[in-house]
Chain A
């Protein structure tokens, strides 16, 4: 091309270089981190885990696509956030739930909780959590019929209670801590295996996708309050949604505080509400309600921490 003169070059403001990490890469990392849990769950509950997860992913992406088309917004399905919502919602459902109910959940998550509030980053509450709560209140029976894990399945009984259900009702034998940890227990698809979720969470922390503050403070608070209530802390950490909630739902960027102190307050708050509901509430499980509650006060936590940040010693 030689030594030619060129005009009308692109002029833009510095920096002229950006990190390769963009939104879709972050969401992709979250999807990757959820794979171990999907694997264990498929092993424990069978192939319906896979099909239900796929249905939720497809429905979420489809709702996001249609919503953007109908509201004439820029198409955002390529950022993979709808897929993450789909998987997280699926992981919060019993594996024998009807596809129709799951798709209704996806509609609530993507259209009502996310789209109508302005899309990615604008939603006040976590879409998957809120959708789960809506389904829980609307389809209580279906959402509380838990399939038994393959290892415990007898010839005639295919459903049974979750460990927290056993604890609440007081009838039946609690599974061992090892079963709780590995995931051979009844429950929602993605929340059964503490070890698989822990693996995914550590991966996200290592990739610097999430900060460890929220998961650690959440789980530590649950453990401390369990001890205070005279119950087994390991049981409470591994039962129900604590692991998936702490690593994957409470750490949702849009609905959790952005500064370290805020994250600490948020994590402790989630842990407190979870244990309050578990010990005193009428529901066996409190993680989703706890996170939803803390989502609502996140803006206030942010305000409080920003005032401290800017008021105090600034570098």
Chain B
């Protein structure tokens, strides 16, 4: 179904594009430059393709194994990030260079992994939960980045304040996911 959907969508798009540019402007009646009937049929074929694609995507979402694998990356990276941030909160008076290296070594990868797997949230919980979780996650990431900048400049009070903000946003994200888990 997916392959057929792709074929029909692209066929519709390409045929519609061809129809749109197949003639130079007709001076007497400009709007007749595009053969609209042909164009409409092309679009209709494309829309059928999209319907098939969306149905295939819907079936994908119900593929437990695949979704579970993606979702496990979400939970593990969030846990890893939370641990790293927790550790930094406990040692917020460490030298700035140490904090800087620690953020680079321990936070960059889980942040990236979570972001790369974020679509698993949409599949599992829907758009609204995705938006709420990503709002908290993005704020956490921004505050981790702020801690990095402050550490690079030596402002350890700001490192401490920002990493605690990041910790709270991560906790919010985890609570939102836990609540969504229970609601499923």
A binds B: no
Question: Which A residues are within 8 Å of any B CB, using their own CB?
Answer: none
Name B residues whose Cβ lies closer than 8 Å to a Cβ of A: none
